[in-house]
A and B are shown apart, each in its own frame.
Chain A
Amino acid sequence: MSKFLKKSTLTVGGIAAMLVVAFVQETAADQSAPYNLGREALPEEVAAWDIDVRPDGKGLPVGSGDVFTGEEVWIEKCASCHGDFAEGSGRWPVLAGGIGTLASENPVKTIGSYWPYLSTVYDYVNRAMPFGNAQSLTDDEVYALTAYLLYSNDIVDDEFTLSNDNFLEVEMPNTDNFYPDDRVEVEMPLFSVEACMSDCKTDVAITMRAAVVDVTPETDGDAEVEEAAADVEATEEPAAVAEVAVVEVAALDMELVAAGEGAFRQCKSCHQVGDKARNRTGPMLNNIVGNPAGSVEGFRYSGPMEEAAAGGLVWTEEELGAFLTDPRGYMQGTKMTFRGVRKPEDIAGLIEYLKSFEAD
Chain B
Amino acid sequence: MTEQFKGVKPSRRAFLRGAAAVGGATAIGTSAAAEADPAITQMKPWNQFLGEGVDARPYGMPSKFEAHVRRQDVPWLTADPISSVNFTPLHEMDGIITPNGLCFERHHGGIAEVDPAEHRIMINGLVDRELVFTMEDLMRFPRENHVYFLECAANSGMEWRGAQLNGCQYTHGMIHNVMYTGVPLRLLLEEAGVKTEGKWILPEGADASGMTRSIPMEKALDDCLVAFKMNGEALRPEQGYPVRLVVPGWEGNMWIKWLRRIEVGDQPWHHREETSKYTDLLGDGRARRFTWEMDAKSVITNPSPQAPITHGKGQTVITGVAWSGRGTIPRVDVTIDGGVNWHQARMSGPSMDKSMHRFYYEFDWDGSDLLLQSRAHDSTGYVQPTKDQLRAVRGLNSIYHNNGIQTWFVNSDGVAENVEIS
Contacts and interface: CB of A to CB of B under 8 A. Distances in A.
Contacts of B18: none
A219 B306 CA distance: 12
Given A105-B396, A211-B166, A206 B420 contact: yes
Contact of B290 (A135, A180, A190, A196): A180
A2 interface: no
A55 B271 CA distance: 9
A237 interface: no
Given A28-B190, A103-B283, A38 B131 contact: yes
A127 B210 contact: yes
A116 B281 CA distance: 13
A192 B327 CA distance: 14
Given A37-B137, A50-B261, A199 B109 contact: no
Contacts of A114: 276, 287
B260 A195 contact: no
A91 interface: yes
Interface stretch (A225-233, A304-312, A318-326): A225-233
The size bracket of the interface on B is 35 or more
Contacts of B341: 197-200
B413 interface: no
Contacts of A46: 122, 124, 130
Contacts of B295: 183, 187
A262 B302 CA distance: 48
A120 B288 contact: no
B291 interface: yes
Given A34-B191, A37-B133, A199-B341, A215 B80 contact: no
B196 to A, nearest CB: 6
Interface string B242-272: 0000000000000000001101010101111
Contact of B371 (A107, A182, A204, A228): A204
A330 interface: no
Given A201-B340, A211-B417, A220 B380 contact: no
Nearest to B277: A109
Contacts of A28: 189-190, 193-194
Contacts of B131: 33, 38-41
A267 interface: no
A124 B204 CA distance: 12
Interface residues of A, number: 94
Contacts of A217: 72-76, 170
Given A37-B137, A128-B210, A182-B288, A229 B68 contact: yes
A4 interface: no
B276 A128 contact: no
Given A41-B132, A120-B271, A103 B276 contact: no
Residue from the set B109, B193, B195, B396 with the largest chain A CB neighbour count within 10 Å: B193
B191 A37 contact: yes
B284 interface: yes
Residue from B189, B380, B382 having most chain A Cβ neighbours under 10 A: B382
A123 B124 CA distance: 18
Contact of B263 (A52, A183, A203): A52
Contacts of B167: 216, 220
B209 interface: yes
Interface string A130-163: 0110110000000000000000000000000000
B421 A52 contact: no
B2 interface: no
A344 B254 CA distance: 45
A195 B267 CA distance: 40
A92 interface: yes
Which secondary structure characterizes the binding site on chain A?
loop
A24 interface: yes
A166 interface: no
Interface in B334-362: 337-342
Interface string A34-59: 11011111000110011011111000
A220 B87 CA distance: 12
Contacts of B64: 229, 232-233
Interface string A262-293: 00000001000000001011000000000000
A195 B133 contact: no
Contacts of A40: 129-132
A29 B276 contact: no
B150 to A, nearest CB: 19
Contact of B68 (A179, A228, A281): A228
A49 B276 contact: no
A7 interface: no
Interface stretch (B5-13, B19-27, B37-45, B157-165): B157-165
B288 to A, nearest CB: 5
B210 A134 contact: yes
A117 interface: yes
B65 interface: yes
B209 A38 contact: no
B122 A177 contact: no
Contacts of A210: 163-166, 305, 417-419
A131 B422 contact: no
B418 to A, nearest CB: 4
A75 B231 CA distance: 47
A115 B79 contact: no
Contacts of B289: 178-181
A250 interface: no
8 contacts: A38-B134, A50-B125, A134-B109, A181-B288, A187-B295, A188-B382, A190-B393, A192-B380
Given A33-B131, A186-B393, A216-B305, 14 more contacts: A35-B191, A40-B130, A40-B132, A49-B122, A49-B260, A50-B125, A54-B269, A107-B281, A128-B109, A181-B291, A191-B385, A192-B383, A198-B340, A217-B170
Closest 3 CB pairs of A and B: A103-B285, A204-B338, A210-B418
